[in-house]
Structure 1
């Protein structure tokens, strides 16, 4: 049975991803097969997990997914030696209103699966208080079991000793302490980490992180704290329908935000995915019966997209007879225009009237529940779709017929309704699952 752990923390930015990648690569170097998962709606970290483990990583989400879906997804770890689930935000951070099987908190996954938690604690600017925080997290929810902690960014041996003593007195295991080490800092941009495929040296960076962590963390003690988990047989798998039989999927640095479990579900249902690159001025495959433009960073490539006439004309021709759908960045590209951070407007595909601006930045972040007023590829009117929205663009105009009534996690109706015109549809949320 695989040894199973959840890597979490009191907050974001403490070092969960770095520790997850380092542990995964260090155990891989020992000859162990490691399977990673990501708790919550993050489409960047799974690619880093795959780079560290050479196994595909998928998201599990208690707000958007039911228990059978989560069990189906994690069952892929049944043949691994070690299973690591990287959390998002702080251990208990979720939304106020419960979703399908929880609030989206990492703690939901830890309790549901019975996987112990390894906390990453950054004691910068404190000492014994770090132990109080760890003890509070340990005792906050009875069904969540703490395996121990790894200290990150300790300032000195004296600082480490003070924190270790306090944690020992609280009965909390300390697996190791990491001094500050700039060489393993992962680069970031406005939507999170710079994507793994954009970093040519990602393998070397993960190797250095593994070496550094192995030097300062007792890997055997971490493994010993893990739970022994046996995946359960699941009758129902993913409740995800492919948008078509042959799917032209935009896939490059501007269109890369798609959840791995979605693509796997499409393929499992018999669909064929045909990638194309708008940045390379490629048009969607003429033999496809649907085109899907995922999110990404079109605002960083708006001038190039606007200038790629073959892509834009090919997309327009495709949409004359077949459905085209865009998510977030893909939705923006289906629109009439995109204004970049410098205030320059770039003409987009014009399949929808949407006008967006990155010059007027405002963060939009949170879970979304959409009730479709009209069909979109793979889903009928009335379908309840669960997803996640995260972008900084502002809507200047959204003149087309709304695609859905969209609520946030509190039930409030929001303005980002999505749009439809002809065969084109688009949403600002990234689809995770449909309610059964």
Structure 2
């Protein structure tokens, strides 16, 4: 049977997309459907909630970072042995960057490419009939993006629902749900977004609460009926990131969490073995591995524990003396000389690269990036072009003297100079790799 697909969109972040998506995924899984979640942009956190809600791996579908063939392959994989794929939009439905047609990074790209309908989530707090004007704007903005239904979120009363819902349905847009305002439905957040699924206290109790909300407030049958077949054109993995080694020592704990599901899945599919270890538990990379990968995460919240993890520090230094070690974002911070925490206290780190970073002097760095490597490293061969993004608040307060990894540009190709650092077997960067360019 062909899987069906649906996109959950909204005018902006904070409209309630994630809560609606998680509740819908769980409620449909309770019915016995094989339902899978996906995220339209570079978000590490939401796929973890999708997996917790469904029991099936989540995936990112990023039209800017992923070449069309890779995007199609990942969409095909998501639709395999699945009844319904629900794609949650990042930010607003049409939000992306100016780029070639179909590669803006927006969820709207996926709606056009796969002909999928959009379920529009509207936060109607502070408005009633005006919500119909917003819905009409979405319905008419792009004739190739079809708004198939509307969910009203953060309603104040039944009367509020009638006022907003009747105005929208007068436009021949079906209202398939209305959710009363309930602060307890919100998921906790911190500086890089939601608190991650595995860290959420009473995770499954909260997911079930969102499912109860969905069963109570959404017309599940009507929403399932809105979905249409998801049948991507042919794809392949030729633009996927190759595994950096046969056995990959992967840092994995509350300080190191940001590895995209599709990256890990492709490494395994190509025969690589991921060997996890926990720096916070003072574990070092397995010396039998070929390469060590320190992913992004939240080392800035745990610098004291990392600085005191003598076995991790000495073991990683020994590993790096003969084998490659690569760090992304948080991993890059730990590869440096020091991290300054939010209180201004400086903690020594691995010292395998010469930079120093600070979480006390915060500045948000956010955006798509395209990088060209000037030397071989675990990201790829010399001259390789890698697409990804940056999202961090920490700043580099001392650059050190290491050679750069290469040249980097923003998502539109505007040069941003050199990036990252490399020294002997060690490399790192604030840049998160998603796919080959």
Question: Which range, TM-score by smaller chain?
Answer: over 0.9
Look up the SS of the partner of 2:169 in the other structure: helix
Deviation track 1:238-292 (CA, whole Å, cap 9, x = no partner) reads 5221111111000001000010100111111111111000000000001011000
How many Å separate the matches in 2 of 1:283 and 1:141?
Answer: 52
d(CA) in 1 for partners of 2:236, 2:19 = 35
In structure 2, C-alpha distance between the alignment counterparts of 1:237 and 1:117, rounded to whole Å: 30
The 8 Å contact of residues 65 and 388 in structure 2, kept in 1 or not, is answered as yes
C-alpha contact (below 8 Å) 2:23/2:207 kept by paired residues: yes
**TM-score normalised to structure 1 length:** 0.97
Equivalent residues of 2:283, 2:311 under 8 A apart: yes
1:405 aligns with 2:401: no
Q: What is aligned with 1:285? A: 286
CA drift of 1:412 comes to 2.5
Residue by residue over 1:160-187, the C-alpha shift from the partner in whole angstroms, topping out at 9 and shown as x without a partner, is 1111121012221100110012222111
Give the Å deviation of 1:410: 2.9
* Whole-angstrom distance in 1 between the partners of 2:423 and 2:221: 58
Instruction: Tell me the SS of whatever aligns to 1:291.
Output: strand
Tell me if 1:48 matches 2:32.
no
1:229 Cα offset (Å): 2.6
Distance of aligned partners of 1:180 and 1:7 in 2 relative to their CA distance in 1, 3 Å threshold: same
> Does the CA-based 8 Å contact 1:295-1:326 persist in structure 2?
yes
1:427 aligns with 2:429: yes
Taking the aligned partners of 1:20 and 1:335, their CA distance within structure 2 comes to 38
Task: Tell me how far apart the structure 2 counterparts of residues 83 and 261 of structure 1 sit (CA, whole Å).
Answer: 16
2:341 maps to 1:317? no
Matches for 1:129-140 after TM superposition, within 5 Å: 129-140=130-141
CA distance in structure 1 between the aligned counterparts of 2:236 and 2:87, rounded to whole angstroms: 23
Residue 252 of structure 1 aligns to a residue whose secondary structure is: coil
Deviation at 1:375, TM superposition (A): 1.3
Q: Judge which range, 357-366 or 206-215, deviates more.
A: 206-215
Q: Give the CA deviation at 1:233.
A: 4.3
- What are structure 2's unaligned runs of at least 5 residues? none
Map 1:188-203 to 2 at 5 A. 188-203=189-204
1:249 equivalent in structure 2:
250
SS in 2 for 1:279: helix
1:402-426: CA deviation from partner (whole Å, max 9, x where unpaired) = 1111111132333571001111100
SS in 1 for 2:419: coil
**Structure 1: runs of 5+ lacking an equivalent:** none
Does structure 2 retain, via aligned residues, the 8 Å contact 1:78–1:230?
A: no
Aligned equivalent of 1:182: 183
TM-score normalised according to structure 2 size = 0.97
Post-superposition shift, 1:235?
4.8
Contact 1:117 1:144 in 2 (8 A): yes
Alignment of 1:27-426 (within 5 A): 27-76=28-77, 77-98=79-100, 101-236=102-237, 238-399=239-400, 400-414=402-416, 417-426=419-428
Of residues 231-240 and 104-113 in structure 1, the stretch that sits farther from structure 2 once superposed is 231-240
Mapped to 2, the partners of 1:387 and 1:159 lie a distance apart of: 43
Task: Report the Cα distance in structure 2 between the residues aligned to 1:235 and 1:47, rounded to whole angstroms.
Answer: 24
Using the alignment, how far apart are the partners of 1:343 and 1:392 within structure 2? 15
In 1, are the aligned partners of 2:250 and 2:275 still within 8 Å (CA)?
Answer: yes
Indicate if the aligned counterparts of 2:338 and 2:351 stay in contact, CA closer than 8 A: yes
